[in-house]
Structure 1
Amino acid sequence: MMDHARDLASVRDATERLLTAAAKLDNASVSESSRLPGWTRGHVLAHLARNADALVNVLQGRPMYVSGDARDADIERDAPRPLDVQLADVRESAGRFQEAAAAPADWSRTVELRNGVTDQAARVPFRRWIEVELHHVDLGIGYELEDLSKEFTQREINFLAARFSRHPGVPALLIKQDDGRMLPTGALEGVSREQMESGYMPPLPELTVSGRQADLLGWLAGRRDGSALHVEGGALPSLPPL
């Protein structure tokens, strides 16, 4: 069960970590490449600010973005700004998100995100936490996947495994956890909709992926190529972009 208030506190902490680390940059380093192809650090910071405002829209019942093109244009517009403007925007937009999330609301309601994706409102703070933590890593300023909390890493692995569950572009596989538990994801080949709806449990996949939690998260989130993982029963599949 989602604890949105606890996740909001985690978002605040993660945002402060990012702002403290990014404050050590200078204007020249903001214009340098991030770890995301085609994006500078300025693009990452601009995206974080605009994503906070977009999630305010979600919480208040408006479309997350006017359009995909408008989202991209806003990031391109804001990416070249100097460091002090970038940091102020990230901080102020984060404050607007926290303020919107503090308003009395039905956290069990369904909200709509990008591309028609829907979710429970209570999960929105966790989605923002994901944005802040992973994009802090993407800045390439010394914060790594290994620095993420065990709780966050496990929850994000679970979240991404659920996202790829029954995805036609991902073969059925099992992710082996540190504690020995198996987390299924990917397509259930040969299983009909009627079988799924009846609660039918298909045979377990032969393809198994295991490794350190940071490496599993990196592969699932498109941040690492998976070469550090151990694979049994076949080749490590390429995952579709998030």
Structure 2
Amino acid sequence: MDWRDVVDELDAGVERIARTLEGLADDALRGASALPGWSRGHVATHIARNADSLWNLLKGARTGTEIPQYPSLERRNADVAAGAGRGRDELVADVRATQARFSEQARSLPGSAWNAPVRAMTGWPHPAWYTVFRRWNEVEAHHVDLAAGYGPADWPEPYVRWSAAATLADMAALPKDALGEVAGLRITATDSGETAELGWTPGGPEASGSARALLGWLSGRSDGAGVHLRPDGPLPVPPPWPHEPSGFPEESGF
């Protein structure tokens, strides 16, 4: 997908998050999310602070001055903790305002800046345009993490098509020691035909399912419902997601 279309998808996705939050009472926002140790308020605050952090990368691309995504992991965690206890209206306003700020930065970024190199918090580089795709994973996955009725079945089809394909490609490029329990597996999306062979050899184990089912499992947002393993047995635990991207078009210079 073109990054411009993704920005529109982000705005719609964050508005869905805002409506989910508006349907929760303050005490529900203090309740447990799907992420260990985090309340729903933590997740909502992280969604907002992530928008700010990725805004930093676009600002760096615009100015030609490297700006870190976050000052540090410790600062990121402290900011999330500091905002987690706010009331519903303040959380909703923060989520909406930070997305609007991110979108404005993205839409107004000069074309010459979109291939500028920026760097993820963990250190790997990517062109500035990939920032909007990173944000897409954050928005859709963390909406599920709110544990408030939104799940992989609700993900928009354009998101599923992009993220499932990217996840399979990126996993196939991971070193063997990063694959964990899925090493030796072949994974196939039955609807798109896309496949990742993770050290697989003929006769080895295979997992298959729709792109949506695979993405839910591989992202850790489902228990693997709709994914079938041959030979029969429990599904392996996938490695932490999302993964470093496996590559970019040649014109990106990466």
TM-score (normalizing by structure 2): 0.82
1:98-153 deviation digits (Å, cap 9, x = unpaired): 12112233212322111112222222112112211111111122111111122211
Partner of 1:231: 229
- Name the residue aligned to 1:199: none
Contact 1:111 / 1:118 at 8 angstroms: preserved in 2? yes
**Cα distance change, pair 173–16 in 1 and its aligned pair in 2 (3 A):** same
Which residue identity does 2:95 align to in structure 1?
V
Secondary structure of the 2:80 match is: helix
CA RMSD of aligned residues (A): 2.1
1:146 to 2:145 alignment: no
User: For the residues of structure 1 that align with 2:16 and 2:25, how far apart are their CA atoms?
Assistant: 17
**1:156 is matched with which residue?**
163
Q: 2:119 aligns with which of 87, 112, 130?
A: 112
Structure 1 residue 37: deviation in Å? 1.4
The answer for the alignment partner of 2:196 in structure 1 is 184
Partners of 1:7 and 1:182 in 2: how far apart? 22
Q: Is the 8 A contact 1:107 1:120 kept in 2?
A: yes
> Is 1:132 paired with 2:131?
no
Q: Helix, strand or coil: the match of 2:131?
A: helix
Residues 14 and 227 (structure 1), Cα distance of their counterparts in 2 relative to 1, 3 Å cut: closer
Measure the CA separation in 1 of the matches of 2:216 and 2:18.
22
Kindly indicate whether the alpha-carbon contact (under 8 Å) linking 1:34 and 1:138 is maintained by their aligned counterparts in 2: yes
Partner of 2:2: 3
Give the deviation of 1:234 after TM superposition. 7.9
Q: Which range moves more in the overlay, 101-110 or 214-223?
A: 101-110
Corresponding letter in the other structure for 1:112: R
**SS where residue 28 of structure 2 aligns?**
helix
1:207 aligns with 2:200: no
Unmatched segments (≥5 aa) in structure 1: 190-202
Letter in 2 for 1:101: A
CA distance in 1, matches of 2:226, 2:108: 44
Seen in structure 2, the aligned counterparts of structure 1 residues 113 and 80 have a Cα distance that, compared at 3 Å, is same
Given that 1:30 and 1:42 are in contact with CA atoms closer than 8 Å, whether structure 2 keeps it comes out as yes
Bigger mean CA deviation after superposition, 231-240 or 75-84? 231-240
| 1:93–1:205 distance in 2 versus 1, CA, 3 Å | farther
- Structure 2 unpaired stretches of 5+: 61-66, 242-254
Mapping of residues 26-41 of structure 1, within 5 Å: 26-41=25-40
Instruction: Give the direction of change, closer, same or farther, for the CA distance of 1:12–1:182 in structure 2 (3 Å limit).
Output: closer
| SS of equivalent residue, structure 1 residue 119 | strand
On the 8 A contact 1:3/1:122 being kept in 2, the answer is: no
Corresponding residue of 1:216: 214
Amino acid across the alignment from 1:151: P
Is the Cα–Cα contact under 8 Å of residues 173 and 207 in structure 1 kept in the other structure?
yes
Which residue identity is paired with 1:70?
R
Shift of 1:228: 4.5
Change (3 A) 1:179 1:59: same
Q: Under a length normalisation based on structure 1, what TM-score does the superposition of the two structures give?
A: 0.86
Matching residue within 183, 186, 194 for 1:174: 186
Instruction: Report the counterpart of residue 52 of structure 2 in structure 1.
Output: 53
Judge conservation of contact 1:45–1:86 (CA < 8 Å) in 2: yes
Query: Percent identical across equivalent pairs?
Result: 35
Partner amino acid for 1:221?
S
Match of 2:69 in 1: 64
- Cα displacement (A) at 1:31: 0.4
**Alpha-carbon distance, 1:17 to partner:** 1.3
SS at match of 2:129: helix
Counterpart AA for 2:108: A
